[in-house]
Structure 1
Amino acid sequence: MGRHLFLHIVDALSNHDPYFQQRVDALGRKGLSPIQKCNAVMRMLAYEVSANVVHDYVRISESTAVECLKRFVTNVIVIFEGEYLRKSNSNDIHRLLEMGEARGFQGIDFPKCGKGCS
């Protein structure tokens, strides 16, 4: 994932849910940044690792990582569903096929189905 896209997601989440904003505790210590929280979630999703493995790299507790994951998934659906999480229409498919052809992908020729295919 590119840096620009990652920061766009972090910014959208921190504007939508106060959980993804960095706060200061009663002792004046800064809490986890939105980038740390999103980084933990992205690592869990991309590398299929458990929350306790993320602790070693991002320095985030297992329970916090699980909470981040739950809130991340819920908020990404709420924030981006209208634009990105919808069914493709004919214009989308046409645009994607044109992009593929421009990159040298000519399509897939599926063999004709013989007996017993559904």
Structure 2
Amino acid sequence: MLLDTDYFNDDVTHLPKEFQRRFRMNKELFLKIVYGGAREYDNYLMAKQDCTCLWGFTSIQKCNAAMCYLAYGAPPDTSNDYLRIAESTCTETLYKFCRAIIVVFAKDYLGAPRADDTARILQKNAGRGFPGMLGSIDCMYWGWKNCPFAWQGIYKGHTGTNNDINVLQR
């Protein structure tokens, strides 16, 4: 399987720097999400044998597909090219992955920010040249010159987006 050969076997094709770029996290965090959370919560995310004794997709393959959809906004059928996972399986995997992440990690990572967290983030962003910015994961503060016409209502301007006030209120 290409994914294991490229990133997860002992003799990997790609170095940790490439893993970080591709997955937007280090390998240890990726494996913690897969084995320490998602797979333990929902056994759908584990590899199983079918009635012909062939093994299905691994936890790494399923979680990789789900994370790619979330990180890149890719449609579910894009995993078919690299992972050979059908769109229906990808959609089901994404749903189950998101439910698992919320249940397993919400208490530690998805809580409302505390006052000291907010102060630390504001100070860090001010040092980066963005005073007063808590965090804009939707990049609404920057212009996107080549934004596709169909996306302009979503990705241009900051009215009605998840700006700092909306993020804090959620």
Query: Same fold by TM-score, threshold 0.5 exceeded?
Result: yes
Give the structure with higher Rg (CA): 1
Asked if structure 1 preserves the Cα contact closer than 8 Å seen for 2:122 and 2:131, the reply is no
Equivalent-residue separation in structure 1 for 2:30 and 2:107 (angstroms): 19
Corresponding letter in the other structure for 1:8: K
1:105 aligns with 2:167: no
1:62 aligns with 2:102: no
Of residues 11, 17, 25 in structure 1, which corresponds to 2:42?
17
TM-score, normalising length: structure 1? 0.80
| Local SS of the residue matching 2:107 | coil
Equivalent-residue separation in structure 1 for 2:132 and 2:120 (angstroms): 19
| Unaligned segments of structure 1, at least 5 residues | 111-118
| Local SS of the residue matching 1:81 | helix
1:72 aligns with 2:90: no
Per the TM alignment, residue 39 of structure 1 is displaced from its structure 2 partner at its CA by: 0.8
* Alignment partner, residue 46 of structure 1: 71
Of residues 18, 31, 54 in structure 2, which corresponds to 1:7?
31
Corresponding letter in the other structure for 2:30: F
Asked if structure 2 preserves the Cα contact closer than 8 Å seen for 1:22 and 1:32, the reply is yes
Asked if structure 1 preserves the Cα contact closer than 8 Å seen for 2:76 and 2:90, the reply is yes
Cα pair distance change 1:60/1:18, threshold 3 Å:
same
Corresponding letter in the other structure for 2:80: H
State, as a whole percentage, how many aligned pairs show the same letter. Answer: 36
Equivalent-residue separation in structure 1 for 2:105 and 2:115 (angstroms): 20
Per the TM alignment, residue 107 of structure 1 is displaced from its structure 2 partner at its CA by: 5.4
How many residues are treated as equivalent by the alignment? 108
CA RMSD, aligned part only? 2.2
Equivalent-residue separation in structure 2 for 1:20 and 1:55 (angstroms): 17
TM-score, normalising length: structure 2? 0.57
Structure 1 runs, 4 residues or longer, greater than 3 Å off? 94-98, 104-107
| Unaligned segments of structure 2, at least 5 residues | 1-24, 134-170
Asked if structure 2 preserves the Cα contact closer than 8 Å seen for 1:39 and 1:58, the reply is no
Per the TM alignment, residue 7 of structure 1 is displaced from its structure 2 partner at its CA by: 0.7
Corresponding letter in the other structure for 1:21: M
